Amino acid sequence: MGTINEEVKDDEPIKDEPGWLPGWWMGIFYFTIAFSLFFPVYYHLMQGWSQENQYMEQVKTGPKVEETAVTLKADGSNPFRGDSAAVSEGQKLFMMTCAACHKPDGTGMIGPNLMDGEWLHGNTDSVIYNLVLTGIPQEKLKQKKSPIGGPSSPMPPKGGAPISDTKVLKILAWLSQKNTTLLAGK
Amino acid sequence: MNDKIEYDNQIVRMFVICILLWGVVAMLMGIIVAFQMIFPSWNFHPWLSFGRLRPIHTNGIIFGFTGSAIFATIYYSVPRLLKTPLWSSSMARVHFWLYNLTIVLAALSLMAGYTQSKEYAELEWPIDILVVVWWLLLAINFFMTMKNRTEKHIYVAVWFFVATIITVAVLYLVNNLAIPVGLTKSYSIYSGVVDANIHWWYGHNAVAFFLTTPLLAMMYYYLPKHTRLPIFSHRISIVHFWSLIFIYIWAGPHHLLYSPTPNWLQTVGMLFSLMLIAPSWGGMLNGFLTLTQAKEKIKTDATLKFILVSLTFYGMSTLEGPIMAIREVNSLSHFTDWTIAHVHAGGLGWVHGICAAAVYYLVPRLWNTNLHSEKLAETHFWVSTVGILLYVVSMWVSGVAEGLMWRAVDASGSLQYPSWVEIVNELFPYRLVRALGGVLFLSGFVIMVVNIIKTTKTAGSGFNPVDLREGSKA
Ligand code: HEM
Ligand code: HEM
């Protein structure tokens, strides 16, 4: 075992052939260099491209969201109750903006279970609508701890998502269909 | 004269053991995070959660596994190529121990949650200083060895190591400048867009000067040594070496496309990436064209197979990278599993391939014996190649699907998949295949480890190199 060091010298030099440069390879190189000289002149100077312009362009030509603003009925109930199109859109929106805290099926995770008969802040359309619009700041928290066990944390207005008040009503229409203990009215 | 040179093989043996050790640990971490992405309940404890194990995987694989292979090759090849003993064996040993201390401290501090939050530069300032110290020890030892050389001709592998040692030092120092506010916390001296650009100038060139140039040096060393064939073209070496190191440095902003980075700077990043195609392919071509002189031998030689597949993935990912650097493509691929496919085509294919070739080349020579089993090496090759394909293909599909689902809008202009969770669920099968590909890949690696352990059992029994030149008796 003592001889493992000396036996293998392994230091014959490596030969380098002068070789040649494949033409197609140099071709790619020259082409990409030439392209890189031409492209910024064309794209930025002649076309005036910038990501800010591209964004404005997309906003102008992109699909428009048509929505007539809707609010609570005079009796405080949600006008979308029973509107099946609104309910299915509401479910999607819930998945997008609320599910992260309330779990995709609404049974609670960081925020409380919304599918049971227990309501911390009230159980009518009007109360819950205003609650979601304003969010629940630290000092108004009622949960002792979150359903998954950690300390409770505030709920941002509309769950922190930039959605319209009308969309909130659609979410609550879905919620009222899933959980019938959420009552219409004030 | 030649016969008098004493080469320090012990330091190389020590680093070879580290390749195997850190390789297994880091890949195991990769597998755990891969499973945590499909079974979130596997985040058992904060110390073992995804966010902490992921950087252990990346640091472990880059600095632990790949680093060990680079250092082993430097300490083995550079004295031999320059025909002079290593300038200081004891300095190399200090390097070895400080380096391993760093890896251990890195793993522990990341698990404990200490991080600078810069990808690939997570380690807090005390560990950074440790890194700088041993990197300098390596640099001094390297350049003093070069100064004492008795061989006038400086072979291309040495150029690539020079580029690595100098550039990594500069990148690492500049990116990690921070003001400490305690032993475990510091604030970067940069902020905002400048911080992002410095960070990705570093991040991209960590890929370039840690996962590419030293690996090219290794390819340029082991391929001609193993086959005893001359490198195909010195001219290609010159052109692609200088163009590669010049162009790579400017490509960092391709990680920041469609961000607050100025438009012109993004374009610079994109164009320098396109100009990288040819310089990168130079290395691949030189390797391939050298290999064609030993075509027949590839069938029977696992080391050559690793180099062949490695070069193929290198060529593939250095074409894919520039394509991903095109703004329109990047707006789809960014943040998705497509990037992960690209990373692992480079990592599993290119980096691991060359490192495996290094281990199979070095171990018989260092322990002066023959490899325990060529057949097991062959098995390692096939198992890992299937693993790579499962990993990379599943991540391509997953990445493109993910990108398309994120941007899909319905007629009203709203997102078609507003729920993130829904998309994550959709990607489950691909990510499962990825995790299984990873398990397969690590199994291949473990086969190599077993093979090497068995080989060292017969240490000193005499090594017979096989002649792989065409027409020579195998
Ligand atoms: C010409 C060569 C290459 C170019 C131009 C290139 C380009 C790119 C681009 C555009 C990205 C995506 C950035 C993003 O959207 O965030 C990327 C990511 C990445 N590439 Fe490459 N690539 C090249 C070669 C390689 C090679 C050979 C490797 C590995 C050995 C590699 C490793 C990586 C890694 C690790 C990332 C992920 C960075 C992150 O954490 O986000 N690349 N590359
Ligand atoms: C058993 C083999 C491996 C498995 C299972 C594995 C798995 C993973 C996983 C799950 C991630 C996180 C992906 C995400 O966050 O979406 C990851 C990231 C990464 N892995 Fe691996 N990996 C393996 C081997 C390697 C090797 C050999 C290398 C490189 C030499 C490597 C380099 C990286 C890098 C650089 C990242 C960060 C990518 C980014 O941020 O864009 N991995 N790996």
CATH of the domain at A174: 1.10.760.10
Q: Give a yes or no: residue A5 inside a domain.
A: no
Looking at the complex, does the CB of residue B153 fall below 8 Å from at least one CB of chain A?
yes
Model ipTM?
Answer: 0.92
Q: What share of chain B is helix, strand, coil (3-state, %, to 5)?
A: 75, 0, 25
Across chain B, what does the average pLDDT equal? 95
Instruction: Report the C-alpha gap between B8 and A179 in whole angstroms.
Output: 76
Mutate which of B6, B7, B222, B272 to disrupt the A interface (most A C-beta within 10 Å)? Answer: B7
Angle at A18 between CA A12 and CA A23, to 5 degrees: 140
Angle at B456 between CA B453 and CA B460, to 5 degrees: 175
Does the CB atom of residue B351 touch ligand 1 within 6 A?
yes
* A residues 109..168 contacting B (CB < 8 A): none
Q: Give a yes or no: residue A102 inside a domain.
A: yes
Q: Give a yes or no: residue A77 inside a domain.
A: no
Residues A56 and A99 in one domain: no
C-alpha distances out from residue B323 to A13, A128, B129, B245, B351, Å: 39, 50, 37, 20, 20
pLDDT over 90 (residue B300): no
Cα B223 to chain centroid, rounded: 18
Total tally of structural domains belonging to chain A: 2
Say which CATH class B2-460 falls into. Answer: mainly alpha
Mutate which of A3, A6, A29, A148 to disrupt the B interface (most B C-beta within 10 Å)? Answer: A29
Residues A48 and A125 in one domain: no
Residues A28 and A98 in one domain: no
Residues A97 and A36 in one domain: no
Residues A52 and A98 in one domain: no
Q: Give a yes or no: residue A51 inside a domain.
A: yes
pLDDT over 70 (residue B391): yes
Shortest-distance atom of ligand 1 to CA B340: 37
Instruction: Report the C-alpha gap between A184 and A80 in whole angstroms.
Output: 11
Query: How does DSSP classify residue A46?
Result: I
Strand intervals (E) in B322-473: none
pLDDT tens across B8-29, in order? 999 999 999 999 999 999 999 9
Distance between Cα B204 and ligand 1 center (Å): 7
Beta bridge partners of B178: B188
Shortest-distance atom of ligand 1 to CA B276: 1
Residues A167 and A100 in one domain: yes
Q: Give a yes or no: residue A46 inside a domain.
A: yes
Per the structure, the complete domain to which residue A34 belongs is given by: 23-61
CB atoms A39 and B271 under 8 Å: yes
Shortest-distance atom of ligand 1 to CA B334: 15
Residue ranges, chain A, pLDDT below 70: 1-7, 65
pLDDT over 50 (residue B474): no
Residues A95 and A127 in one domain: yes
C-alpha distances out from residue B278 to A33, B211, B304, Å: 10, 18, 24
Residues A104 and A163 in one domain: yes
Residues in chain B with CB shorter than 8 Å from the CB of A46 are: none
Sequence ranges of the domains in chain B: 2-460
Residue A166, C-beta contacts closer than 8 angstroms, at least 6 positions apart? A67, A68, A69, A70, A71
Q: Give a yes or no: residue A172 inside a domain.
A: yes
Instruction: Report the C-alpha gap between B420 and B381 in whole angstroms.
Output: 38
Chain B residue with CA closest to A94: the answer is B419
Q: Give a yes or no: residue A73 inside a domain.
A: no
Of B2, B220, B412, which is closest to A65 when you measure between CB atoms? B412
pLDDT tens across B359-381, in order? 999 999 999 999 999 999 999 99
> What's the pTM value of the predicted model, to 2 decimals?
0.90
Residues A174 and A88 in one domain: yes
Q: Give a yes or no: residue A28 inside a domain.
A: yes
Asked if residue B56 lies in contact with residue B130, where contact means CB atoms within 8 angstroms, the answer is no
Residues A125 and A174 in one domain: yes
Instruction: Specify the 3-state DSSP secondary structure of A4.
Output: helix
Q: Which ligand is nearest to the CA of B356?
A: 2
Does the CB atom of residue B28 touch ligand 1 within 6 A?
no
Measured on CA atoms in the order B100, B53, B442, B402, is the torsion positive or negative? negative
Residues A45 and A122 in one domain: no
pLDDT tens across B28-67, in order? 999 999 999 999 999 999 999 999 999 999 999 999 999 9
